[in-house]
Amino acid sequence: MGVIGLPRLGIYSPVFKGFFESLGCQVVQPSKVSQEIIKLGVMNSSDMICFPYKVTLGQEIWCLEHGATDLIMFSTHGRCRFKHYHQLQEQTLRNLGYQFKMRTFSGKNFLPELIRITGASPTNLIKAMLRVLSQVGEVEHKAYDGTRQHPLRIGIVGEIYTILEDSINFDIVRKLQKIGVHVDVSIKLSDFIRKEFKLDYFRKRAEKKEARQLLREPIGGHGFCSIYNTAWYGKHGFDGVIHLLPLSCMPESTIECLTDQLAEKYNIPIYRFPIDENNFEAGFNTRLETFVSMLKRKKRNEAHPGN
Amino acid sequence: MRHTLGIDCGSVSIKFALLCGDEIVGKAYLKNRGLIATVQEGLRQLPQLGIEGVGVTGSGREFVKTLVGADYTNTEVMAHVVASLSRYPDARTILDIGGEDSKLMLVKGRNLASFQMNRDCGGGTGSMIETIANRFGVKIEDVGEIALQSKDSAVLPGKCGIFCQSAAVSQLSKGRPTSDILMGVCRALVGNYLAVLAKGKKLLPPVIFQGAVAQNQAIVKCFEDALGYQVLVPPDCAYMGAIGIAILTEENMNGQPTKFRGDAILGSNHRTEISHCDGCENNCELLRLYCGDELLGVSGSRCEKHNQ
């Protein structure tokens, strides 16, 4: 059994680290996606590939430099190019001269794959996974539910890694919470798990139907989710929507005009942050502050027309 | 009437507007040559009136807030919209081009409805014209007048300022008149602005154009040609950020006394100290501002740890 290198996933990073450790594995995981890690990823990626690819590649290099022998990379069978990432990254890392095993699993084959990776018995594995599920609920409750009394409510839609990894989105959720905004994240890990196991069939059905009229075929990634979640926020009295996506993200940039259209229809302002290594925090903060300030003024003026 | 001071602290220049109600009773426009020295100089140029509220906007707002003891800060986008709506209550589209940034603001029902700012790059901002004008030995204030004499403007790329300059120089080598080339630069800038910021959005009249670049008549003409509407330029177009933040400050004072430090700001004993916080992985770069031995404030921290 080797040392597992595990990329981060925002507030869930310790949960996954704990999962492998509880099954007796040794794990290395960066404590933050630092500028150094981003640089490592950017230097070894093609220019126009999405930012999560670069960031996870950078973390894999970091893990290998810190003693990892086995890399874990999630894979999906979806239609976005993410499904190829583990293979592309494996090739890139081999070309760089690293020796390692690339371990990948998806929602479909995770049980046998995880047993093979960890060497744990099925019973122990299932117990550990149930622990993960309850911990996911706990961290989400701690991160998102404490601000429900805040007067302004913003929903976040977009690409899952950009939304969840706080060190690449400039910790947008905490920043908003600090200035009096309640943030609803439309694709938390729990939502992702529900979607992966088709347990979200009855959720937001009217909005999904509406979205399907705009986009008949699935587009991959979370593009379809961004469309119906924008409509959902618009219909449920939210004050604004923030669309987070990696610059050049295929699904999310394709559906931009559809989310704009729905935002217009439901009279809910939407602001889009395409994120890549060239963003700088001061500019990001100015946009974020302005958006919030704009929503506050809109709300105040709508409450007291004539002022 | 109360006197409220607005300071718009941009990357290229710092603008001051002293307001008494709606009336501007003092203003100053200075190139940014270091925040402390420039702010001191600006305050010296303003009429000596009792200031009862100070607001700061622009990219340097966090630091200048500590320096002057500001009562209120907001982003330059909000400041520009508020200033514009105070002059043109029916405005629907506000264009703003400053030294290193450009913004587009759309207004609906007298509220800001959406906005865009330039991202990664300063192409299509005032600095691009200034650089190229320098290369041609033309003063920035004269660019508009010369460009308007053009009869057949050159076609230049507007995405990158450096490439635009190369293309402009190669046109010059071919013997093209300066006026045609400068008009080409103005057109390229407007084209880039509309392509980057206005993507797919309807720009409805009345259209207001502000920021220091709005003083350039050729750019105004290019916008009018591209949009098909008359473009209105407020008389104090370069000061609109400062005016807006002064109005916002006045709205938010709620009768509280000002924190303005007054003449103490002019003291020569201000110094800054840069350090890195090692409290977490963020490694924030902290900027401490001292007046003599007194610590005025810390900026640059992402958490509350260093706020007093």
Domain that holds residue B255: 3-78+242-265
Q: Identify the pLDDT of residue A204.
A: 92
Rounded CA-CA distance B300/A165 in Å is: 22
The answer to whether residue B152 sits within a structural domain is yes
**pLDDT single digits (tens) B131-145:** 999 989 999 899 999
Together in a domain, B58 and B113: no
Query: What confidence tier does A127 reach under pLDDT thresholds 50, 70, 90?
Result: very high
Domains and CATH numbers, chain A: 3-134 (3.40.50), 148-303 (3.40.50.11900)
* Structure-token match 């033309």, residue found: B138
Task: Give the minimum alpha-carbon distance from B232 to chain A in angstroms, rounded to a whole number.
Answer: 23
B268 Cβ under 8 Å from any chain A Cβ: no
Helix (H) / strand (E) containing A68: none
Task: Spell B261-273 as b/e; 16+ CB within 10 A means b.
Answer: beeebeeeebeee
Q: Identify the pLDDT of residue B267.
A: 83
Nearest to B231 by CA among B215, B218, B220, B216: B220
User: Do the Cβ atoms of A27 and A103 come closer than 8 Å?
Assistant: no
Interface touch B78/A257, C-beta < 8 Å: no
The answer to whether residue B122 sits within a structural domain is yes
Torsion sign over Cα A125, A128, A134, A138: negative
Q: Which residue of B has its CA nearest to A30?
A: B281
Q: Identify the pLDDT of residue A156.
A: 97
Together in a domain, B100 and B221: yes
pTM of the entire structure?
A: 0.90
Together in a domain, B213 and B250: no
Together in a domain, B210 and B107: yes
Sorted by sequence, the CB contacts under 8 Å of residue A215 that are 6+ apart come out as: A223, A224, A227, A255, A258
Together in a domain, B116 and B222: yes
**pLDDT single digits (tens) B147-181:** 999 999 999 988 888 889 999 999 999 999 999 99
A227 vs B199, residue with greater confidence? A227
User: Do the Cβ atoms of A160 and A222 come closer than 8 Å?
Assistant: yes
Together in a domain, B224 and B295: no
Three-state DSSP string of A149-185: CCCEEEEEEECHHHHHCCCCCCCHHHHHHHCCEEEEE
Together in a domain, B208 and B295: no
Together in a domain, B124 and B174: yes
Q: Identify the pLDDT of residue A234.
A: 96
Together in a domain, B42 and B127: no
Q: Which residue of A has its CA nearest to B302?
A: A175
Peptide bond into A112 cis (omega under 30): no
Q: What is each CA distance from A159 to A6, A278, B69, B263, in whole angstroms? A: 20, 18, 41, 51
Q: Identify the pLDDT of residue B100.
A: 81
The answer to whether residue B293 sits within a structural domain is yes
Q: Identify the pLDDT of residue A225.
A: 93
Together in a domain, B107 and B225: yes
Rounded CA-CA distance A145/A137 in Å is: 11
The answer to whether residue B84 sits within a structural domain is no
Q: Which residue of B has its CA nearest to A166?
A: B282
List chain A residues with CB under 8 Å of B111. Answer: 294, 297-298, 301
User: Do the Cβ atoms of A218 and A205 come closer than 8 Å?
Assistant: no
**pLDDT single digits (tens) B70-116:** 999 999 999 999 999 999 999 999 999 988 889 999 999 888 999 99
Together in a domain, B160 and B274: no
Rounded CA-CA distance B77/B60 in Å is: 14
**pLDDT single digits (tens) A56-108:** 999 999 999 999 999 999 887 667 888 899 999 999 999 999 999 999 888 78
**Residue B302 scores a pLDDT above 90:** no
Helix (H) / strand (E) containing B16: strand B13-20
Q: Which residue of A has its CA nearest to B304?
A: A178
Rounded CA-CA distance B69/B52 in Å is: 12
**pLDDT single digits (tens) A23-56:** 999 999 999 999 999 999 999 999 889 999 999 9
The distance from CA B303 to its chain's CA centroid, rounded to whole angstroms, is 27
Rounded CA-CA distance B112/B93 in Å is: 10
> Which residue of A34, A293, A301 is in closest CB contact with B281?
A34
A243 vs B12, residue with greater confidence? A243
The answer to whether residue B74 sits within a structural domain is yes
Interface touch A34/B113, C-beta < 8 Å: no
Rounded CA-CA distance A207/A231 in Å is: 6
Three-state DSSP string of A9-45: CHHHHHHHHHHHHHCCCEEECCCCCCHHHHHHHHHCC
> Which residue of B74, B200, B281 is in closest CB contact with A32?
B281
CATH, residue B170: 3.30.420.40
**Residue B1 scores a pLDDT above 80:** no
Q: Identify the pLDDT of residue A113.
A: 87
Interface touch B119/A274, C-beta < 8 Å: yes
Task: Spell A246-261 as b/e; 16+ CB within 10 A means b.
Answer: bbebbbbbebbebbbe
Together in a domain, B253 and B287: no
The answer to whether residue B96 sits within a structural domain is yes
Domains in chain B, number: 3
The answer to whether residue B179 sits within a structural domain is yes
B150, with CB counted inside 10 A (0-12, 13-18, 19+), is buried
Of the listed ranges A224-228, B17-21, B267-271, the least confidently predicted one is B267-271
Query: What confidence tier does B225 reach under pLDDT thresholds 50, 70, 90?
Result: very high
Task: Give the minimum alpha-carbon distance from A15 to chain B in angstroms, rounded to a whole number.
Answer: 19
The answer to whether residue B306 sits within a structural domain is no
